Amino acid sequence: MIVLTVLSGVLAGCAGTEGTRARTAAATASREPAKGTASPSPAPGSGPPVPARGPSGLTPVFERRADGSGPRHTAGGSDKVVALTFDADMTADQGPRAASGEHFDNPALIASLRRLEVPSTVFMTGRWAQEYPSQARSIGTDPLFEIANHSFSHYAFSSPCYGLPTVATPDMRDDVERAFAAIRKTGARHVVPYFRFPGGCYDDVALKALGPTGVTAVQWDVVSGDAFATDADAVAEQVLDGVRPGSLVVMHCTSSAAPVTDDAVRRIVPELRERGYRFVKVSELMRG
């Protein structure tokens, strides 16, 4: 069974601006950012659970919150599973930076995940797939991984959103479909109909705009803090402190912006396994 919640400002009682206030994620569970990290990426909102079915046409959102509320993996009750997810970020205008040698990929991280045999979900921008087609194909043809959609250019779908440029509402559907097209053009086969909003920011307008795409938006409950971090142990500690049965962790597959992720993962994985955790892809987490 897939357990989903349709998050709406109206349904969740957050109608500050008639149900279209951006659902920008709050930091994980009243914890300070890990030493050596930048301010953590946003984590999902802390509103109360809402009905599994909401207004027709809204994109469903799969979300576990840091306080433990919201949908979770339910197979076996307290089954100790965790999903590691990696955002492969790149914007449409970063081509010159890539051409000059900046790495928006992280092949060492993917190699570590393979060596450690960690099933994972990569939320990939279409621009990343265009820049690194052989890597996208390699990830997307390996049954260890699945590729989900992270927009074409990592522009925000609601504003304000951490200074990101914003996709115009009429262009939102096309942006998502363009990203899927770019990913599939590489030859990737394990492509799943999940979408992660850049910055974790969205509102009812965005949910309605993406309804026709058939995607499910996927949030998270554990912020790794790996973006711009310089201390791998601090990132690892932040993840290890936050993980609970059914957790969904957000990390990055962009070495220029998250240079210590590989080192952190190589500590996180064995420690969680020692605690009895099993790693799953988002698709398995959602099946419950």
For 47-68, what is each residue's pLDDT tens digit?
222 323 345 689 999 987 766 6
**Per-residue confidence (pLDDT) for residue 68, from 0 to 100:** 60
- Residue 148's SS3 state is strand
* Structural domain spans, the chain: 75-192+222-287
**Per-residue confidence (pLDDT) for residue 43, from 0 to 100:** 39
Is beta strand 145-149 parallel, antiparallel or unpaired with respect to 120-124? Answer: parallel
CATH number of 75-192+222-287: 3.20.20.370
**Per-residue confidence (pLDDT) for residue 171, from 0 to 100:** 98
Tokens of 253: 């597959």
The residues of the chain scoring below 50 in pLDDT are 1-54, 72-77
Identify the CA nearest to 68 among candidates 114, 28, 95, 41: 28
Task: Say which residues have a Cβ less than 8 Å from residue 8's Cβ, sequence separation at least 6.
Answer: 19, 50, 54, 55, 58, 204, 207
**Per-residue confidence (pLDDT) for residue 104, from 0 to 100:** 98
